[in-house]
Structure 1
Amino acid sequence: MYVFLSPKTRLSKLVSVLAVILLALQSLVFCPVQAAPLPLQDDTGLEDPAELEAFADGVMNALMKRDHVPGAVLVVVKDGSPFFSKGYGYADVENRIPVDPEQTLFRPGSVSKLFTWTAVMQLVEHGKISLDEDVNTYIDYIIPNTFPEPVTMSHLMTHTPGFEDVGQDLFKLDEENVQTLEEYLKARLPERVFPPGEIGAYSNYGTALAGYIVQRISGMPFEVYVQQNILEPLGMQNSTFQQPLPESLASNMSKGYNFQGGEYVEGGFEFVVGTPAGALSATGADMARFMIAHLQNGQIDGTRILAEETAVQMHEQLFTPDPRFEGMAHGFFRSMVNEKLILSHGGDTFLFHTNMFLIPEDNVGVFISTNGTTGALTAAGMTDAFMDKYYPVEVQGPAQQPSGFQERIGPFLGEYYLARSNFTTFEKVVSILSPVRINMNQEGNLQVSLPGEVSQYVEVEPGLLQDRLEPDNRLLFLAGDEGQHYLIPPVPFTFIKSPWYGTTSFQGLLLIFSLVLFLIAVVRWPITSIVNRKPGERQSAGARSARWLGFLASLVGLVFIIWFILIMLDVHPAYGVPNIFFQNPPGFNILIILPMILAVLSLGMLIFLVIAWVRKYWSVSGRIFYTLLTLAVFVFVWQMVYWNLLF
């Protein structure tokens, strides 16, 4: 959930796709749509709202039609005032209710985090939170001391606390199943898998934890604190973190849609359990006031939510993976886009996709939010078009790879997964569904590939590569002290090179090997035992037991594979993701014990395998098949252990 979308970078789209996949526990029906590039426009300057409207209308209408997005809102602020505000399409398709930027509420997802970080900075300003204090100081449960360095608020704000990713229970579709923030945090405490302050791994849990600290220190529920200390002072009268929405706002909430079978399928209200990480509902007009307040260093219309020095600090760099990257501010993402410093954040729920970015140098802010499952492409396309139109730069021609490049980059070629992954529960399987592959193409360029997206990079400094088409898009390759290889973009989505045994190709081959042997055993043995049986012939009890044990193990393995696939294919029509993300399906408790049963059966098969060769059960070919089947069972059990599916 909740992805950063830096405008004008193809890498941002890559990260967007991966993060949305992670949000959904990675649906097997993932089918990305390639965003078509828009032509570079002549710079006319952001001076005339009417001119901007004509430009935005053309871009938005084209993108929404292409991406099947029913509704969107676009807001631009400049020099302390709203400059442009317009709704596109429908907030309610069935009743033909148009989007109204003043009244229609959208769910901006992780843009909510900026309100959480603003609340944190308010308490920092008042001396109630120290950015460098162990967060255990502020909470009533314990973050384990897995590493010598404690987790601090600075780590939470920069997505470097080192937590593994946890997606289970983050979203619910009905209020009855929603835990309180405290219950959620204590029940879903993730493992610490990286030393704090080192690896950028985007963390919804970390932001929810920061919001809980705000709640405990302020003595009031998080959503109440934000309402009283941020939303109301800013005059954001049509925005709230409350779930469900208060009656006064519920009728203005935009519907969310998934385009399926040539029509829009309506989804319900998405309950975000980790409230501070993404539960905001807001209008475009209200978000304009939030952007203005930050562009004016904490104030709007004479009302301050942050002291000027606090706001300036909040926008300054707090962490960067490399001095050549802008890195993270205190919650904002910093990036150079078309030679402009951008402060930004994006957000995704299942149904809504949002991008917000500020250009402090020009006192400009842009907010775009969409109400369709494919709206991330629309948001990215509009932000790219805006930057190219009003802040164009000349794209330099492709450069040549420097000498020695192939030798330097050789160890980094291979398959990568996001550091924002789960490592200790069954959610780990998500990481194999979104691999990034790094290889050299025939032209000698580094090629970054994922489903539906291929980019080419040229080395500009040792280990630092630049997109051939978009110079702002850079990647850093670093080798760790213990032999790890990292691919690091400017945003906190570090990629880690997979070991050879963890790649999708190797894991896929192992799965196919086991599946084929299971199928042969389940189909062949019952038939051959009947067809080949001779009158009066009787197999030894040991041989019969060995075969039945192999048959049972194969059947258990097949049932698990088929059942798991069916669960992943049981996709919610409105949200476009497997229903298991929202609640465990019927029989799930039986499914999760099948690998344990298989592990026990594998030990029995190993014993019978030895006996079969010693006592010469069956023919030689029969014993060889039993050997292969035993190996297949052990391989499958190992895979279950590797992906944390053996509970």
Structure 2
Amino acid sequence: MEEALSDYLNEHGEKAAGVAVIVVNEDEITYLMDGYADIKRQVPVDEETIFEWGSVSKVLIWISILQLEEAGHLELDKDIATYLPRDFHSKLSFDSPVTLTHLMNHTAGYDDSYTDLMVLKPAEIASLKEVLEAADVRQVFPPGEVVAYSNYGAGLAAYVVEEVSGMDFRLYVQKHIFEPLQMTKTSIDAEQNDLPWVKEQRKNVQGYSEDLQLIQPNHYVIPLYPAGSVTGVASDLQKLLKALLSEDGAPLFRHRQTLDALLLPTLYYPGTNVPRMANGLVSLPSESGQVFGHGGNTVAFSSSFYVDRQAGTGVLVMTNMANERTFTLGIPEIVFGKPHKENPSTLEDSSKWAGIYEPARVPRHGFSKVYGLLLRSKSEQAEAHDLTMNGLRYSQTGPGMYLTGDDFSAYAIDVYSEHPVNGNMLSSAQTDMLRIPIYQHLLEWGSIALGALAALLSIVFMLFSLLRKIRIHTILLMQHVLNLLAVLNAVWIAYRTASITTYTSIHPFLTANLFYVAASWVVSGILIARMRTGRKDKREAFIGILTVMTAVVLTGNILYWEFYF
């Protein structure tokens, strides 16, 4: 194994900034560290190098929940409202109760948000309760119906830990996980204020893009800290790995049965016996089919953490690169092997699953929902029984089951099913994808295209007016100026969101769009009145009609995509 991993690191070394790999195979432990924590200063990765866990941090939430269940302080299938204070402002939209099992399986029905995920140098850090109440998240699916990975749901589970234990979640983790495992070089606080050594060491590490370009700045604060703020050395995470592979569950649990239960499937792919999740841990398609763990990403770090308890094997990979896959997914694939490809006797006509699919894990309210357009994928039939999506070919291994060898094993399995409410659905490890009617897909992209055309027309009118090629009345000119300001404002909002920002910081820009809508209605009303009452030549009438149409298209886009506050 060590030779295979060393060869892999050597083969792909030119793609690495810094990498730390630890493999536990029963009593054997393999350490591999390569590259630099800081390329410019030539600081090598070593046992003192700090890495951000990202969403691997969620493993601590699920362990905490199982600890409290073992102690008899909570029940996984009980309404979480039982454990929350009465003044807590929940995001519930349905009468059905949300349980901890829903939160762990990511089936509570919450949508996502692209704001407030990370904040650069916040003026103050709010409490976990305040962050949850202020989150721009809504419950858009009934509990138990759809899988949509949710940072909010994980944070809500951590808040249940706070309320049930009577302790701040950071203190709970320190006392019940870090201290028993002697994880003395790991911080959970959003700004590492709980461990000054980690905070100081973090200054020695830089983060890089996939092409090894420095990401600057690369040290952000995660307000919903239980979902992704843990920072520490790889050898500390190894202690957690070994604890999940231990015989008796100590020191995390009192009984071995609790540890066994943590790694037993709690969610399967629709209509199959293929494991999908185990109490918040995600199934990694593998040779044994019993590997569970989690991946994680921050602005400039990527990690993965997987265990096969029955085989006594675990692996962790930590890198200081954003959205890294070659190591965080490639190395677990080497350790655990690829899933078996079966040759079924019965195959279905795969054309029934062709169509456009959108992840359930996208914002479904507010301006962020426009990003869902960019995440849609097209499934197309390949020959009679296979499918292609995003340039990958998926071979059918049974009705509804499709497997690809063109990507890392973490993304190998796609399962199609017919949902009683949502229709055709594609299920991957962490989210379901819902089929979008082709007419809706075309109309929504068409609205964006028309908006771009309206903006282009306003630019053309402005340029021709400045060049005196055509004379535009002041009221017409006013509408085109408004159009361009609105388009620039929308582009700025999109840019700020993509660059990581808070929802509060873009409130003024979203509010400005409402003023644009109101002003456009007034100006367009005046234009229509002038065209109906005055005598105009054909060219002027044509320009007036086009001007009103640009306003209608742009205001329609703002209202449909909710680019307002």
- The alignment's TM-score, normalised by the length of structure 2, stands at 0.89
1:120 to 46, 60, 65: 65
| Structure 1 position 581 matched with structure 2 position 464 | no
1:210 to 157, 160, 166: 157
In structure 2, relative to structure 1, the CA distance for the partners of 1:557 and 1:323 (3 Å cut) is: same
| Structure 1 position 555 matched with structure 2 position 478 | no
Structure 2 match to 1:511: 451
Quote the Cα distance in structure 2 between the aligned partners of 1:236 and 1:633: 60
Shift of residue 345 of structure 1?
A: 0.6
State the Cα deviation string for residues 627-647 of structure 1 (Å, max 9, x = none).
233223212212112222033
In structure 2, relative to structure 1, the CA distance for the partners of 1:382 and 1:266 (3 Å cut) is: farther
Structure 2 match to 1:40: none
Structure 1 match to 2:367: 426
Quote the Cα distance in structure 2 between the aligned partners of 1:459 and 1:271: 43
State the Cα deviation string for residues 214-252 of structure 1 (Å, max 9, x = none).
112222211111011011111212122124332233343
Q: Is the contact between residue 285 and residue 338 of structure 2 (CA under 8 Å) also seen in structure 1?
A: no
| Structure 1 position 71 matched with structure 2 position 31 | no
Quote the Cα distance in structure 2 between the aligned partners of 1:193 and 1:493: 14
SS at match of 2:145: coil
| Structure 1 position 93 matched with structure 2 position 39 | yes
Quote the Cα distance in structure 2 between the aligned partners of 1:532 and 1:308: 82
Structure 2 match to 1:349: 298
SS at match of 1:131: coil
- Equivalent residues in 2 for 1:137-216, closer than 5 Å: 137-140=82-85, 141-174=88-121, 176-188=123-135, 190-216=137-163
Structure 2 match to 1:633: 551
State the Cα deviation string for residues 557-600 of structure 1 (Å, max 9, x = none).
22232344356557xxxxxx844526876xx5553233212322
Aligned length: 555
Quote the Cα distance in structure 2 between the aligned partners of 1:189 and 1:278: 18
Q: Is the contact between residue 338 and residue 392 of structure 1 (CA under 8 Å) also seen in structure 2?
A: yes
State the Cα deviation string for residues 468-487 of structure 1 (Å, max 9, x = none).
65798232333444564322
| Structure 1 position 330 matched with structure 2 position 272 | no
CA RMSD of aligned residues (A): 3.1
In structure 2, relative to structure 1, the CA distance for the partners of 1:569 and 1:438 (3 Å cut) is: same
Structure 2 match to 1:106: 51
State the Cα deviation string for residues 482-512 of structure 1 (Å, max 9, x = none).
56432212x1211123343445642442222
SS at match of 1:328: strand
- Equivalent residues in 2 for 1:246-645, closer than 5 Å: 246-253=195-202, 255-259=205-209, 264-265=214-215, 267-296=217-246, 299=249, 303-324=251-272, 325-387=274-336, 391=337, 402=347, 404-406=349-351, 408-409=352-353, 412-414=354-356, 416-440=357-381, 445-449=386-390, 454-467=391-404, 473-482=412-421, 484-489=423-428, 491-499=429-437, 500-502=439-441, 505-525=445-465, 547-566=473-492, 568=494, 578-581=498-501, 588=506, 590-608=508-526, 610-615=528-533, 617-645=535-563
Farther off after superposition, 334-343 or 114-123: 334-343
Farther off after superposition, 440-449 or 114-123: 440-449
Q: Higher RCO, 1 or 2 (CA under 8 Å, sep at least 6)?
A: 1
Shift of residue 392 of structure 1?
A: 6.4
Quote the Cα distance in structure 2 between the aligned partners of 1:288 and 1:468: 30
Shift of residue 210 of structure 1?
A: 1.0
SS at match of 2:258: helix
State the Cα deviation string for residues 125-150 of structure 1 (Å, max 9, x = none).
11111111221221220425521211
- Equivalent residues in 2 for 1:213-228, closer than 5 Å: 213-228=160-175
2:75 to 130, 148, 160: 130
Farther off after superposition, 339-348 or 605-614: 605-614
Quote the Cα distance in structure 2 between the aligned partners of 1:120 and 1:395: 35
Shift of residue 192 of structure 1?
A: 0.8
Whichever residue aligns with residue 180 of structure 2, its letter is: P
State the Cα deviation string for residues 291-326 of structure 1 (Å, max 9, x = none).
1211226635xx343521111221112123414231
Shift of residue 108 of structure 1?
A: 1.1
Quote the Cα distance in structure 1 between the aligned partners of 2:340 and 2:253: 39
Q: Is the contact between residue 171 and residue 270 of structure 1 (CA under 8 Å) also seen in structure 2?
A: yes
Quote the Cα distance in structure 2 between the aligned partners of 1:513 and 1:265: 35
In structure 2, relative to structure 1, the CA distance for the partners of 1:400 and 1:519 (3 Å cut) is: farther
Quote the Cα distance in structure 2 between the aligned partners of 1:157 and 1:561: 41
In structure 2, relative to structure 1, the CA distance for the partners of 1:607 and 1:119 (3 Å cut) is: same
Whichever residue aligns with residue 561 of structure 1, its letter is: V
Shift of residue 275 of structure 1?
A: 1.6
Quote the Cα distance in structure 2 between the aligned partners of 1:329 and 1:370: 25
Whichever residue aligns with residue 359 of structure 1, its letter is: D
SS at match of 2:416: strand
SS at match of 1:130: coil
State the Cα deviation string for residues 143-162 of structure 1 (Å, max 9, x = none).
25521211111111111110
Quote the Cα distance in structure 2 between the aligned partners of 1:262 and 1:314: 37
Whichever residue aligns with residue 474 of structure 1, its letter is: I
Shift of residue 76 of structure 1?
A: 0.7
SS at match of 2:552: helix
SS at match of 1:257: coil
Whichever residue aligns with residue 551 of structure 1, its letter is: L
Could you list the runs of 5+ residues in structure 1 that have no partner in the other structure?
A: 1-45, 47-51, 534-543, 571-576
Quote the Cα distance in structure 1 between the aligned partners of 2:66 and 2:17: 37
SS at match of 1:122: helix
Could you list the runs of 5+ residues in structure 2 that have no partner in the other structure?
A: none
Q: Is the contact between residue 285 and residue 291 of structure 2 (CA under 8 Å) also seen in structure 1?
A: yes
SS at match of 1:113: helix
Shift of residue 363 of structure 1?
A: 0.4
1:60 to 4, 9, 13: 9
- The alignment's TM-score, normalised by the length of structure 1, stands at 0.78
Identity rate of aligned residues, in percent?
A: 22
Quote the Cα distance in structure 1 between the aligned partners of 2:211 and 2:328: 23
SS at match of 2:295: strand
SS at match of 1:556: helix
Quote the Cα distance in structure 1 between the aligned partners of 2:237 and 2:28: 10
In structure 2, relative to structure 1, the CA distance for the partners of 1:197 and 1:483 (3 Å cut) is: closer
Whichever residue aligns with residue 255 of structure 2, its letter is: A
